[in-house]
Amino acid sequence: MIDIVAIGTLLYTLGKDYKERGQWKDEKKLVDYNWPDQSGFKEKAAEQGYEVRWVRPDKVAARELEGYDVMLERDAEAKVSRTLVLWDGNVLMGRKVQS
């Protein structure tokens, strides 16, 4: 006789593992003020039409209303999105430059 509970548990575990593999994790990456320039992140953002700037945490919502987005460093292999922050909490944001 087949144990229905065991099969249900197995299917749940397999389904949960499959779902979690498809989800991205969010992390904060602590960087220094010059990191965007030194790493090439700022140059890559400019190639995609973005200007970037550091924004205080209390100004993030106001900058979003002005068209800025929180800039993320994405690692597709690890499925991790990293928000870039300074030691004092400033967040790297960017917006599309109008041509």
Confidence check: pLDDT of 52 > 60: yes
Q: Answer yes or no: is 13 within a domain.
A: no
Average pLDDT over the chain reads 85
**Which residue in 40, 90, 86 sits closest to 63, CA to CA?**
90
Least Cα distance to 45 among 95, 89, 98, 99 occurs for 95
- Asked, for residue 9, whether it belongs to a domain, the answer is no
Which secondary structure element, helix H or strand E, spans residue 24, and what is its range?
none
**CA distance from start to end of the chain:** 70
Lowest mean pLDDT among 34-38, 58-62, 74-78, 92-96: 74-78
Range list of H helices, the chain: 4-22, 35-39, 41-47, 60-65
Write down the pLDDT at residue 65.
Answer: 96
User: Would residue 83 count as lying in a domain?
Assistant: yes
Indicate the number of domains in the chain. 1
The pLDDT of residue 41 is above 90? yes
pTM value is 0.75
Cα–Cα separations (whole angstroms), residue 7 to 16, 20, 41: 14, 20, 48
Task: Tell me the average pLDDT across 22-49.
Answer: 94
**Residue 64, in any domain of the structure:** yes
Better pLDDT: 30 or 9: 30
* 42 within domain boundaries: yes
Residue 17 domain-assigned (yes or no): no
